[in-house]
Structure 1
Amino acid sequence: MDDVSAEMINRRARGLDRAFEILDFLRIKRQPVRPNEIAQAIGAPRSSVYELVNLMMRQGVLEYRGDDGRVFLGRKLYFLGTAYAEQFDLMRECDKLLAKIAEETRETSQMCLLEGNKYTVAQMKEGIRPFRISSNVGDPVPIPWTASGRLLVGHMSDAEILDFIPPEDFRLPNGHWLDPAVFIAEVRKAKEDGYFTFNSIVETFTHCFAAPVYQADQVCIATLCLVAPKEDGLRNHARYLRSLLDAGADLSSRLGHAGKRHVHSA
């Protein structure tokens, strides 16, 4: 391959990386934005952002919103996401289980994943409460802030965990710092117990439950979660946890995990 061809391939790769950076920015922003504002936010040349935005507009990946030049995610992404969900066993199998958990507990149930080095809610079924106490689907959250985070990094070594989680993510919402050694100890305890629950450090009036979903290679690829008012969560702790653990074991077995069902005693 000559130098000209290699440079062309590198330019295309950089352009593709930039295009995904634009899409991720809009997903997190969750509102239409002008291309020049996108360029400023992601630290990219305006010319390249405008070029990529126009390309994605032609493909239906982005769409105009309003008459002032703002753009947002396009409907083609919805169809791509639908096709993905239909073929991805975890997403397809999880929907009914989340509905079952929400019905059994009357609380908000979630399926959570790692996206890069952040935690995110991938699916959710609302409970019957009139107020909402859960994260938005798709919002990136620092791993140490979450109950699920203690399970999702359980297959990593201590050094791998510290390399994986950005140091600033150990700064909690109240401004205090979580000692990484304390976090790692909680990760090991969660792995041993087969679940993790705690009073939320993001929403101080809630109690969070997380149970692992394993694939065949023994790696926790997702968690099933409940977010409940603190008093209700503590009062119904054993029942809520049992509902999650049963659902997590069921989903894990469908994904090829041959581990033993975890038995929890109150």
Structure 2
Amino acid sequence: MQGRQTLKKPAAGNVGERMARSRNTGTPGNTDHQTQPAAPPKDEAANAPRSRTGAIDRVLQILDGLQHANRPMTAYEIAQTAGAPASTMYTIINDLVDKSLLTRAADGTIWFGPRLYRYGLTYAHSLDYLAIAAEEMQRLSADVEETVQICGREDGMMIVLQMAEGPGHFRVTSRVGSRVPINWAASGRLLVGHLDDGEREDFFRRYGQPSPTGLAETRPDVLSRIAQESFAARFALQIGESEASVACLASPVCNVGGECVITISIVMPENKAKQGIDRYSAAVRDAAARIEDRLGWRAGA
């Protein structure tokens, strides 16, 4: 009959196999657990965005490495600098080259690509204060016939944002995009001059570094005091601290909140700076004030 056929006794060998499987798994009698696939990890969904973020981090390591080196590098050098697997970096670099974010020279070295330059131009054009600062930079350079720079802060570094070279033979090693530790430069001290006493001292303790000339101040408390005094005077001077026989005279450009956003500075030979300190300090202060006036950042502007 149909009912009796469904109750057919399984073969002894099959029962033995089932018992063996039960002993191996610790699951008494029930074999359904043996055929079900393993459940996916609970954080499987979280792994996807983490992987994407990792790729972005690798891209930033490549770009930051090139900026820090300030020269073209081989893919192997970039990987070594980032401490990343070479195969991973090669793949990412090839993708970035294909998309014109990086370029590869005939010798195989890697550098920033034209697409990054276009992005940078678009960003710069959106910043009115840099456009106005550039005009005043050119005006100041023509007035004093010296190299003038616009500088900003990037973490613990001072970065040259714009530069107008003077007409003479004097040339400075820092170019647009150059970065130096913030305690080496007159502009660097001004860029943190608006911070509270504790913040300034903590900042210099974290980021201060000895300079190649050995003349840069590194004591956090002293740097904090100098930064405060320079900011209050709207003028900072450094001579030979980052580069021998080179002087920098800087003035802060502050927003309506009193924060130093950028600086404008004259970079010139040490002997000329000492001989004309009054003239040059007044000129750089006036240039900073004009930028603030044009942006409506000065009181009563």
Structure-2-length-normalised TM-score: 0.80
Cα drift, residue 125 of structure 1: 0.4
Among 54, 66, 69, which residue is 1:26 paired with?
Answer: 66
CA gap of 1:174–1:203, structure 2 versus 1, over 3 A, is closer
Kept after mapping to 2: 8 A contact 1:32/1:71: yes
Which residue in the other structure is 2:169 paired with? 130
Give the number of the structure with larger relative contact order, counting CA–CA contacts within 8 Å between residues 6 or more apart: 1
Q: 2: distance between equivalents of 1:142 and 1:232?
A: 25
Q: Which runs of 5+ in 1 are unaligned?
A: 262-266
Among 180, 186, 200, which residue is 2:220 paired with?
Answer: 180
Which residue in the other structure is 2:104 paired with? 64
Q: 2: distance between equivalents of 1:107 and 1:28?
A: 27
Q: 2: distance between equivalents of 1:84 and 1:71?
A: 23
Cα drift, residue 208 of structure 1: 1.3
Larger radius of gyration: 2
Alpha-carbon RMSD: 2.0
CA gap of 1:243–1:260, structure 2 versus 1, over 3 A, is farther
Structure-1-length-normalised TM-score: 0.89
Greater shift after overlay, 112-121 or 177-186?
177-186
Which residue in the other structure is 1:264 paired with? none
Instruction: Please give the per-residue CA displacement for 1:60-114, whole angstroms capped at 9, x wherever unaligned.
Output: 1011111x43221111111111111211112211222111111110110000010
Percent identical among aligned pairs is 32
SS in 1 for 2:186: coil
Equivalent residue runs for 1:57-136 within 5 Å: 57-66=97-106, 68-136=107-175
Which residue in the other structure is 1:13 paired with? 53
Cα drift, residue 134 of structure 1: 4.7
Cα drift, residue 3 of structure 1: 2.4
Cα drift, residue 130 of structure 1: 0.9
| Letter aligned with residue 170 of structure 2 | F
Which residue in the other structure is 2:200 paired with? 161
Q: Which runs of 5+ in 2 are unaligned?
A: 1-41
SS in 1 for 2:136: helix
Which residue in the other structure is 1:195 paired with? 235
Kept after mapping to 1: 8 A contact 2:149/2:266: yes
| Letter aligned with residue 141 of structure 2 | A
